[in-house]
């Protein structure tokens, strides 16, 4: 096992101490007579305004006496440290009075050079969190450097990073508690995906995170296991949610920033970090970001690394990098940069044009299969959806599905039976659309499967089906013109504005 420079120095000093008596009788006599007094080093923990003052002799004691200890390494002459000082002191007072066992401490890094070297402190201020006496793996502070931000961050680190949602009532109360919340739906709360979710929640302290493994909640919000949903309040009450199913290892270093940010507009640059030509684009991308602070979150995605799983969500392949996409995570609308010029001016102009409403959303679409209408269940894609769904002479019942969705697979045989039953009907069409590969203007699919009925006529009506998913009930719904006989009130009917043709 290796030792640090400070440990080596201690060993040398101890060795010299053992050799002192052999240097001469005079020195030995002086020690015996008390002429040379040895300095007594104390590990006592002192504090200033609620902040523990640490040095190399009491540092270890502080770690063992306090379960969570946030340490500021500072320089007395540093302007940023001086600005942080009153906020740090105020946060220390709040936490000390909480009786939560959370404490703040400080180290003068210019004096305690051994501690600075041990923890890699090269700039000021540096804040590190030490948990359960662990000296070798401190956690870098990622919160905001004000009293409220420090307190929020520490409390999140101290307790469960997520709230467990046990039933529909607790879920509704949690979702209604803030303007934006994030909920993870996991079959196994100890799975790798769930653990990654907890880590993200621990860092993204400005947004409440909830978690559930309850089947009834999966069904209520139309999600499958290992799905993360962002819920946002809308005018008039209630909340809309954006669902994202997670492949294994879906969380990346960008996840805390993305989930924790209150900024809804994200500009993503997809590059391959192993290619020098791609790395050269980074400078322009970063230079374009400052004017959009608070409006647009700039995110780097490495298609050859942990960001590869994001590609499918945008309908991209790794060989298409470098490329750029703009997304609003509230509406789920995506925008494509028309040019391959990645200068800071071009990047900035593109972002501003999207914000100004001058860029049309980019809609993914597969090519229309040659045999799309040859089977009982018609195959729709973005490019033929408008033509089929809004045919004024037809009543069209569409299943929006995801290929990986378990619920969709379970319902597939019934949907095929329904198609077979109505394959020769003069004005009823049964269809399906892969919503992970095809997008429709003004129609956002938030869970799978989602069923929409488009009645004949010129009004462009759309009715979401939310009843039992069996052949008998489906048939009653269709035979009664998009309404079940037992329903006392008509279903909610939406009118969809004119759709623009989908682009590849």
| Residues catalogued as catalytic | 78, 81, 405, 408
99-103-109 Cα angle (round to 5): 170
Assess whether the previous peptide bond of 449 is cis (omega < 30° from 0): yes
Q: Is 249 helix (H, G, I), strand (E, B) or coil?
A: coil
Cα-atom radius of gyration of the chain, to the nearest Å? 31
Name 76's bridge partners: none
The region, left, alpha or beta by phi > 0 then psi within -120 to 50, assigned to residue 53 is beta
Number of Cβ within a 10 Å radius of residue 295:
13
Residue 88's closest CA among 136, 48, 122, 44? 48
What are the φ and ψ backbone dihedral angles of 97, each rounded to 5 degrees? Answer: -80, -15
User: For residues 313 and 327, is the Cβ–Cβ distance under 8 A?
Assistant: no
What are the φ and ψ backbone dihedral angles of 257, each rounded to 5 degrees? Answer: -70, -40
Alpha-carbon distance 82 to 142, whole Å?
19
User: For residues 385 and 433, is the Cβ–Cβ distance under 8 A?
Assistant: yes
User: For residues 483 and 368, is the Cβ–Cβ distance under 8 A?
Assistant: no
Alpha-carbon distance 108 to 489, whole Å?
71
Nearest 10 degrees: Cα torsion 339, 340, 344, 349: 10
Alpha-carbon distance 373 to 394, whole Å?
14
Q: Strand (E) positions, 282-440?
A: 296-302, 323-328, 333-336, 377-380, 395-401, 428-434
User: For residues 422 and 480, is the Cβ–Cβ distance under 8 A?
Assistant: no
Largest CA distance in the chain: 117
Integer angstrom CA distances of residue 379 from 368, 430, 475, 503: 8, 9, 20, 17
User: For residues 438 and 379, is the Cβ–Cβ distance under 8 A?
Assistant: no
Q: What tokens were used for 270?
A: 């997809």
SS (H, E, C) 49-68: CCEEEECCCCHHHHHHHCCE
Q: What tokens were used for 22?
A: 């052999």
Stretch (H or E) spanning 331: none
Number of Cβ within a 10 Å radius of residue 220:
13
């Amino acid at each position: 096992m290796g030792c640090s420079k400070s440990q080596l120095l201690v060993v040398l000093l101890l060795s010299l101490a053992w050799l002192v008596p052999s240097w001469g009788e005079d020195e030995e006599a002086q020690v015996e007579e008390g002429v040379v007094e040895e300095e007594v080093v104390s590990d006592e923990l002192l504090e200033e305004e609620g902040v523990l003052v640490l040095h190399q002799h009491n540092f270890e004691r502080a770690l063992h006496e306090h379960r969570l200890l946030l340490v500021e390494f500072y320089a007395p002459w540093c302007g940023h440290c001086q600005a942080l000082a009153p906020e740090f002191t105020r946060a220390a007072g709040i936490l000390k009075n909480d009786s939560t066992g959370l404490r703040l401490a400080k180290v003068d890094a210019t004096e305690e050079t051994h501690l600075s070297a041990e923890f890699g402190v090269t700039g000021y201020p540096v804040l590190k969190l030490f948990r359960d006496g662990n000296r070798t793996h401190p956690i870098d502070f990622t919160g905001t450097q004000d009293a409220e931000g420090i307190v929020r961050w520490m409390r999140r680190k101290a307790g469960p990073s997520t709230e467990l949602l046990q039933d529909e009532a607790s879920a509704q109360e949690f979702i209604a508690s803030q303007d934006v919340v994030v909920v993870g739906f996991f079959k196994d709360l100890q799975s790798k995906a769930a653990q990654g979710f907890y880590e993200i929640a621990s860092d993204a302290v400005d947004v409440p995170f909830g978690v559930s493994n309850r089947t009834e909640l999966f069904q209520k919000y139309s999600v499958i296991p290992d799905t993360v949903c962002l819920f946002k309040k809308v005018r008039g009450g209630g909340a809309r949610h954006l669902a994202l199913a997670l492949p294994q290892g879906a969380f990346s270093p960008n996840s805390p920033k993305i989930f924790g940010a209150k900024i809804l507009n994200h500009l993503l640059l997809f590059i391959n970090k192993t290619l020098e030509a791609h790395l050269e684009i980074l400078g322009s991308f970063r230079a374009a970001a400052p004017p959009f602070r608070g409006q647009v979150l700039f995110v780097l995605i490495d298609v050859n690394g942990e960001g590869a799983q994001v590609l499918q969500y945008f309908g991209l392949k790794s060989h298409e990098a470098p490329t750029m996409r703009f997304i609003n995570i509230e509406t789920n609308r995506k925008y494509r940069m028309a040019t391959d010029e990645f200068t800071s001016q071009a990047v900035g102009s593109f972002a501003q044009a999207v914000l100004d409403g001058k860029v049309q959303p980019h809609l993914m679409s597969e090519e229309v299969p040659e045999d799309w209408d040859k089977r009982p269940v018609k195959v729709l894609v973005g490019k033929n959806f408008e033509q089929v769904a809004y045919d004024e002479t037809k009543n069209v019942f569409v299943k929006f599905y995801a290929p990986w969705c378990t619920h969709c697979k379970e319902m597939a045989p019934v949907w095929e039976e329904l198609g077979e039953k109505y394959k020769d009907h003069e004005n009823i069409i049964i269809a399906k659309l892969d919503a992970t590969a095809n997008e429709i203007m003004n129609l956002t699919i938030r869970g799978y499967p989602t069923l929409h009925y488009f009645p004949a006529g010129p009004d462009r009506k759309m009715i979401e089906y939310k009843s039992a998913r069996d052949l008998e009930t489906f048939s009653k719904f269709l035979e009664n013109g998009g309404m079940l006989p037992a329903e006392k009130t008509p279903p909610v009917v939406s009118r969809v504005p004119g759709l623009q043709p989908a682009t590849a």
